[in-house]
């Protein structure tokens, strides 16, 4: 890529930054910088996590934080409108917004327009492309702003942002963007079916930076745990925000069927369902076996992966259509030779081959999940085999370097015209 052109920098628009739950995005940003891409970070929200990963410090970029709620900085929004209305594409962008508003009369839609005004008005002159993570809200802000400025925009789409917005919105954004990359084959197939130009859509796995997840030491526990000794319980781990699509309710229900076996469960992650899940564990009579660890840094998670015997992630499709794409925590767990159990949802089967690199249960079936869990809890040799196969599989197919190079190449083609 020739980065000496007049418009060489890329504005990367994010919903929130930094976020502990979006390490995969930060990892990609850092690697793009290492490849020589000059960037500007823009965030629609202020950070809410009290801590950050080392990768955020390595990126060393302070984002331009747009007003999360327009009423908190009315003078800034008005100054931006006064400037943006003189931009060459303002009238087109306004018509685009009004057409969207007629179909989606929500405060969030109005906020997207206000944030787009600020983004357009404050865009540095040397930006040649806006690259936005998430197709939904950030995608709208980028689309309106780039139309005002006459710049191209591109999208990295993930999970909720794809499955919780209407098809008309996806079609129109796909028609307007320079390209879209997405992190699962299931996502790519769906979006190609909606895109006027399917070749705009590419499958690019995020992958894992194995330098941050080096191979674990040999051996997990001696003697191996098999669920028969209350003094030597099998250590289960689940990592993910406490939200509906992670299936914590079903996981606790499944474990409630296994009180005759010796196990403990650690849950790493914060979120709105923490109180509800604690109460559910109490009702099921397993509260003393379940620990809620809260949000953790990457280094802390690495320790938990290595200290555990079995990883479980009970993915499901929420009532609003939200679902995981390809959960990075499965890659992280497999990189540590940790046997994984999950469900046949979205792209999970792309990384877990049932009986080969892990075990799968049907979603929303606590009894079936309990049977799969019982099998793995009782059989340390099975866990060892699946853990080793998973480690080999993730190293062979889910390294981050090739994916970042693919994104870098697509960006370069746009910048070079």
176 and 249 in a single domain? The answer is no
**pLDDT tens figures, 321-373:** 888 888 999 999 999 999 999 999 988 999 999 999 999 999 999 999 999 99
Total domains in the chain come to: 2
Cβ atoms within 10 A of the Cβ of 87, count? 19
Counting as low any pLDDT under 50, the low residues of the chain are 1-6
pLDDT tens sequence across 185-209 = 989 999 999 999 999 999 998 888 8
CATH number of the domain bearing residue 126: 3.40.50.2000
Instruction: Please give the radius of gyration of the chain, using alpha carbons only, rounded to the nearest integer.
Output: 23
Q: Do 359 and 391 meet the contact criterion of CB atoms below 8 Å apart?
A: no
Give tens-digit pLDDT for 74-91: 999 999 999 999 999 999
Q: Does residue 240 lie within any of the structural domains?
A: yes
Q: Which domain holds residue 95?
A: 9-207+399-415
In a domain, 222, yes or no: no
Per the document, the length of the chain is: 417
* Domain shared by 199 and 340, yes or no: no
pLDDT of residue 209: 87
Q: What is the largest CA-CA distance in the chain?
A: 73
Same domain, 58 and 89: yes
Q: What is the mean pLDDT of the chain?
A: 94
Same domain, 158 and 269: no
pLDDT at 7: 59
Q: Quick check: is 1 in a domain?
A: no
Res 347: pLDDT: 87
At residue 264, the pLDDT reads 98
Query: ∠258-240-398 over CA atoms, to 5°?
Result: 105
Nearest residue to 266 (alpha-carbon basis) of 294, 243, 300, 245: 294
Residues 90 and 148 reside in one and the same domain: yes
CB 262 within 8 A of CB 229: yes
Helix or strand holding residue 180 (H, E) = strand 180-182
- Quick count: other Cβ atoms within 10 Å of Cβ 221? 13
In a domain, 213, yes or no: no
pLDDT of residue 5: 44
């Amino acid at each position: 890529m020739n980065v000496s052109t007049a418009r060489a920098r890329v504005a990367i628009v994010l919903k929130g930054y930094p976020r502990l739950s979006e390490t995969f995005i930060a990892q990609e940003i850092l690697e793009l910088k290492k490849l020589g891409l000059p960037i500007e970070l823009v965030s629609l929200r202020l950070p809410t996590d009290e801590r950050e990963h080392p990768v955020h410090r390595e990126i060393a970029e302070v984002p331009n934080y747009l007003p999360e709620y327009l009423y908190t900085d009315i003078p800034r929004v008005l100054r931006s409108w006064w400037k943006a209305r003189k931009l060459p594409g303002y009238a087109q962008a306004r018509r685009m917004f009004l057409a969207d508003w007629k179909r989606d009369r929500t405060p969030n839609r109005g906020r997207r327009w206000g944030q787009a005004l600020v983004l357009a008005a404050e865009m540095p002159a040397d930006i040649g492309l806006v690259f936005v993570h998430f197709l939904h809200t950030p995608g709208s802000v980028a689309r309106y702003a780039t139309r005002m400025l006459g710049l191209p925009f591109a999208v990295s789409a993930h999970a909720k942002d794809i499955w919780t917005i209407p098809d008309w919105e996806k079609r129109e954004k796909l028609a307007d963007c320079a390209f879209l990359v997405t992190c699962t084959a299931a996502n790519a197939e769906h979006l190609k079916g909606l895109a006027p130009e399917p070749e705009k859509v590419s499958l690019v796995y995020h992958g894992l930076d194995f330098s941050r997840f080096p191979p674990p030491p040999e051996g997990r526990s001696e003697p191996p745990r098999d669920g028969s000794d209350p003094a030597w319980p099998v250590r289960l781990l689940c990592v993910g925000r406490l939200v509906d699509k992670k299936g914590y309710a079903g996981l606790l229900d499944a474990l409630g069927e296994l009180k005759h076996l010796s196990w403990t469960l650690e849950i790493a992650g914060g979120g709105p369902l923490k109180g509800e899940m604690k109460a559910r564990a109490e009702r099921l009579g397993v509260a003393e076996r379940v620990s809620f660890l809260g949000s953790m840094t990457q280094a802390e998670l690495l320790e938990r992966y290595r200290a555990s015997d079995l990883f479980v992630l009970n993915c499901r499709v929420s009532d609003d259509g939200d679902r995981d794409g390809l959960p990075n925590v499965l890659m992280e767990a497999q990189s540590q030779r940790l046997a994984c159990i999950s469900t046949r949802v979205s792209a999970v089967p792309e990384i877990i081959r049932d009986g080969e690199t892990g075990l799968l249960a049907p979603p929303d079936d606590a009894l079936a999940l309990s049977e799969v869990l019982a099998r793995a809890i009782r059989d340390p040799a099975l866990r060892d085999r699946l853990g080793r196969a998973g480690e080999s599989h993730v190293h062979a197919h889910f390294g981050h370097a090739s994916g970042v190079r693919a994104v870098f190449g697509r960006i370069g083609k746009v910048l070079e015209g």
